[in-house]
Amino acid sequence: MALISSILALRRDKRILKIPPYLSALCVIVGIAWLLVLPLNEYSRGTYVSENALLPGQVHTYFTGSEHNVFRAYRHEVHGLIDKPVAERSQRLETIFREQNLKVATQHYNYTVSNRTIANENVYAILQGPRADATEAIVLIAAWKNMADEVNNSGVALVLTLARYFKRWSLWSKDIIFLIPGDSTSGSQAWVDAYHDGHDQRYVESLNIKSGALQGAVAVDYPAGPWGQRYDKLHVVYDGVNGQLPNLDLFNTAVQIASGQMGIGSVIQRMWHHDNSYKDRLQTMLRGMISQGLGHATGPHSSFIPYHVDAVTLQTVGDGWHDEMSLGKTVESLFRSLNNLLEHLHQSFFFYLLLQSNRFVSIGTYLPSAMLIAINFSIAAMALWVKSGRRTEPIANPASTQPKSKPASSADKEDKGDTKPTHDIKHAKEKAPAPQQPATELLEIDGALAIVPVASTTVTERALLIPALLVISAHALGLVPLYLFNNWDADHLPGLFITTANIITLFPIAVAFLFNYTSPHILTLQALTLIQCFSLLLLGMFLAALATLNFSLSVLIGVACVPLSFVRRSTNMGINAVQLGMLALLNPCMVVQIGTKLLGGNLAEILVTAAQGWHIWGLWTQVVVWLVWFPAWIACSVVVASGIFD
């Protein structure tokens, strides 16, 4: 107690106030440096399988010999279906499954996203394990078209052959579901939604036959044509929607079986040639982080992961000497391992960054970097708060650093002195509309309100209501682009984007001007400080919470927002201009544009994918961008911009 109080006493010291900027700068630097040291041997670990039941590669695989002939035949069959209409294709695949005495069903889905229709059919067959009691199932997927939109010819054929081969075994303790989605992302999403009855019947057909709880899923992507093509390596894709990852054990099992048992090298994150150098490790990690941060579906497996079904995609790459049978054996061995599982995969890590196929960093090691970056905003917010109350503050109790004494205290301030009736009315009225926004926002809005009384420790002359409301409205404003980008016509999305980019860039200046022109008394110096303070506080809080859900996204946005905690409204026109220019470069739209350029993506495609993600995969990235990043940016830019007009 006494110790704390004496530390509190320290706060009276004027010098303390000079520290925060350096402190938050330090946080940022350490946070980023932290990321950079992760690839070193000291901070990363070699992967290992912790679930004993898996026993990867311990079984002999028999998928050879005449199965190869059958596979070739099926490959021809599949090839023959390539330019057939969907219905005929499904029907033919169904018959092949039926010939193998499996239970077969199809599922039609028909999404309409930003005036584009995504309609196709999933075919799936269930192999009822002779000893299984229909409580558990594992899924083998081969999407008809892979992510590159090539027909997954050999992949589908392999699944058909394996279905025929697996049917002969009597050792399956779980049902095996063979799924052939119409496409790589929406198809499997529709299927897995319907399987858990989380689907919207208007777009997705319900499943006729089901099995038990899904324990794992493996997708094969092998687009080789009817004459086959020998491959060099397996590319293991593991990112799920919203940056959720499968249990590391599944990934390890796949890698270990491929390399240890079959002698197939495996690569991740498109690092075709990984020489285990620091540079390559770092590059792999960063690619992983970007892909996780975007949170998009990276393969047929991605949609399974949000439902707590661990899944990976095995993709063949390069020219080598491995043939389809070795891939088939890998899958066989992998399924034998999954078949051994007594429990749902839970032993190993769910949060990790992979540096290469056999090296990873666990959450405990990397989380601090994101947290440090998030904290820097909180520190800046505190500093701003103290600054805002500096002048009027009675020296006696400096403990009054309270963002949360927002509206009420001010409210009551006024009607304490003079019983001007308007005040509380205004107070109430202005609260009323607030909660109409989504819960996330509502919370933090009233969050400010709620904690009020508890927190406000002292009589300060801070006028908190206006800044609070302005910050809230900034967040509310984020809903507009969120809605537009998700529902706009696909063909006009790029146009919309450009327009938004321009509007956003000019918006702060316009706002600042308007306020300055109409009612200069609102945006006082203190009010501006408070606005920045509140928005930074919220930003820090959101990023901290986000870091636990999607680490990479939190880091990426955190880094992009770093300047926000350093920009200040200055009376010097030049400095203001410089700051504004920098902010303009860092506004969400601009960052997205530059990012796409750097990653060699196509903006239009990305926008459409984002809309698709929002409607079909339940992607949350846009929400974070428009309701966390964008408002913070706006608020701080307005603060800076207001400097121009006096």
Partner 1 sequence: MLSSLCLVLLNALVISVAAGSDYHEQLLLRPLPQNTLLASFNFRSNESAAAFEQQNFRYFPRSFGQILQHAHAKELHLRFNVGRWDAENWGQRPRNGAREGGTGVELWAWVEADTEDEAFARWLTLTNALSGLFCASLNFIDATKTIRPVMTFAPEGQHANSSNLHLLHGTLPHEVVCTENLTPFLKLLPCKGKAGISSLLDGHKLFDASFQTMAIDVRPICGQGDASCFLEMEQTVDMVLDIARSKRPRDNPIPRPLPIDQLECDTSKLYNAHDTCYPLNKGTDPAWTLEEVFGKPLRGACPLTEQSGDEVNTVCINTPPERTVEVRTTGQFAESKLASDTVRCYKLPTGAHFDLVLPEQKMSTGLVRPDPQIFAARSINGHGQERGSTQSIIRNPSTTEAVEIVYLESLPWFMKPYLHTLRARVDTTYESPIKETYYRPAVDRKRGTHLELRMVIPPSSTLTLTYDFEKAILRYTEYPPDANRGFDVAPAVIRILSPQSGDNRGVYVRTTSLLLPLPTPDFSMPYNVIILTSTVMALGFGNIFNLLVRRFVGIDEAPALGAGGLKGMLLSKITRLRGLLGKA
Partner 2 sequence: MTIDTQQKLLLFGAAAAVRLLLFTVFPALPELLAGRVEVSTPVTSFKRLQEGVFLYTHNVSPYDGGVYHQAPLLLPLFSLLPNPAYAPLATNLFYTAVDLLSANALAHVADSGFASVTRLFASPRKELRWSSAAIAAGFLFNPFTVATCIARSTSALTNLFVLTAMAKASHGASITFVLAAAFASYLAMHPILLFPPLLLLLYDARTLKTKTAPDVSSFVITHSLGFAAAIAALLSASAALTGSWDFLAATYGVRLLLPDLTPNVGLWWYFFIEMFDSFREFFLGVFWLHAASYMPGLTIRLNKQPLFVACTLTGVFAIFTPYPSIADAALYLSLVPMFRHLFPLMRYTFLASASILYTSFLGPAFYHLWVYAGSGNANFFYAITLVWSLGLSIILGDSLYAALRDELDVERPELQGKEVRRI
Give the interface with partner 2 as residue ranges (CB under 8 A): 2, 4-5, 8, 244-245, 306, 308, 344, 346, 350-351, 396-397, 399, 401-402, 404, 408, 411-412, 415-416, 419, 421, 424-425, 427-429, 431-432, 434-436, 439, 442-447, 449-459, 541-542, 544-545, 548-549
Tell me the CA distances in angstroms from 312 to 179, 225, 334, one per residue in order: 14, 23, 11
Residue 518 near which of partner 1, partner 2, none (CB within 5-8 Å, type-dependent)? none
Residue 60 phi/psi, 5-degree rounding, is -80, 140
Instruction: State how far the alpha carbon of 499 is from the alpha carbons of 33, 441, 610, in Å.
Output: 37, 26, 18
Among 22, 62, 272, 278, binds partner 1 (CB under 8 A): 62
User: Pick from partner 2, partner 1, none: which does 408 bind, CB < 5 to 8 A by kind?
Assistant: partner 2
- Residue 172 contacts by C-beta under 8 Å, 6 or more apart in sequence? 127, 129, 130, 131, 132, 166, 339
Query: Which one-letter DSSP state was computed for residue 602?
Result: -
Q: Tell how strand 175-180 and strand 116-127 pair up.
A: antiparallel
Residue 623 interacting partner from partner 2, partner 1, none (CB closer than 5 to 8 Å by kind): none
CB of 278 to partner 2, least distance (A): 29
Tell me the three-class secondary structure of 262-284, residue by residue: CCCEEECCCCCCCCCCHHHHHHH
**164 lines the binding site for partner 1 (CB under 8 A):** yes
| Residues 261, 53, 239: CA angle, nearest 5 degrees | 70
Provide the CA 229 distance to its chain's centre, in angstroms: 35
Rank residues 118 and 468 by Cβ distance to partner 2 and give the closer one.
Answer: 468
Contacts for 542 with CB less than 8 Å, ≥ 6 apart = 624, 628
Among 29, 115, 130, 545, binds partner 1 (CB under 8 A): 130
Q: How far is the CB of 1 from partner 2 (least distance, A)?
A: 8
* Minimum distance from residue 400 beta carbon to partner 2 (Å): 8
Nearer Cβ to partner 1, position 308 or 426? Answer: 308
Three-state secondary-structure class, residue 353: strand
**Residue 94 is a binding residue for partner 1 (CB under 8 A):** no
User: Which lies closer to partner 1 via its Cβ, residue 307 or residue 377?
Assistant: 307
* Maximum C-alpha span of the chain: 94
Select 50 or 397, whichever has its Cβ closest to partner 2: 397
CA 555 to chain centre: 11
Q: Residue with structure tokens 């905690």? A: 565
Interaction of residue 58 with partner 1, rule CB under 8 A: no
φ, ψ dihedrals at 522, nearest 5°: -75, -55
C-beta of 127 vs 452, nearer to partner 1: 127
CB of 75 to partner 1, least distance (A): 9
Q: Tell me which of partner 1, partner 2, none is bound by residue 165, counting a contact when its beta carbon lies within the kind-specific cut-off of 5 to 8 angstroms.
A: partner 1
Cβ distance to partner 1 smaller for residue 342 or 439: 342
- Of 193 and 221, nearer to partner 2 (C-beta) is 193
Q: Which of 108, 196, 230, 426 binds partner 1 (CB under 8 A)?
A: 196
Whether the CB-CB separation of 180 and 121 falls below 8 Å is answered with: no
Q: Which alpha helices (DSSP H) does 2-112 contain, by range? A: 2-10, 19-37, 66-81, 86-99
Q: Which does 170 bind (CB under 5 to 8 A by kind): partner 1, partner 2, none?
A: partner 1
User: DSSP 3-state assignment of 571?
Assistant: coil
Part of the chain binding partner 1 (CB under 8 A), chosen from 22-30, 210-218, 385-393, 599-607:
210-218
Q: b vs e for 213-226, b when ≥16 Cβ sit within 10 Å of the residue's Cβ?
A: ebbbbbbbbbbbee
Residues 3 to 32 in contact with partner 1, rule: CB under 8 A:
3, 5-7, 9-10
Strands of the sheet with 103-113, listed across from one edge: 103-113, 116-127, 175-180, 136-141, 213-221, 311-322, 231-237, 265-267
Residue 74 makes contact with partner 1 by CB under 8 A: yes
Among 21, 212, 320, 494, binds partner 1 (CB under 8 A): 212
Taking the least distance from each CB to partner 2, the nearer of 9 and 599 is: 9
**239 binds partner 1 per the rule CB under 8 A:** no
Does 342 engage in binding with partner 1 (CB under 8 A)?
yes
Give the C-alpha separation, 641 to 635, whole Å.
Answer: 10
Which of 154/400 has CB closer to partner 2?
400
Q: Which is nearer to partner 2, 2 or 598 (CB)?
A: 2
Cα–Cα separations (whole angstroms), residue 262 to 49, 216, 324: 18, 21, 12
Partner touching 3 among partner 2, partner 1, none, CB below 5 to 8 Å by kind: partner 1
Which amino acid is present at 80? G
**Secondary structure (3-state) at 483:** helix
User: What is the size of the binding site for partner 1 (CB under 8 A)?
Assistant: 50
Q: Which residues bind partner 1 (CB under 8 A)?
A: 2-3, 5-7, 9-10, 62-70, 72-74, 76-77, 99, 101, 103, 128, 130-131, 133-136, 164-165, 168-170, 196-198, 209-210, 212-213, 226, 307-308, 342-344, 346
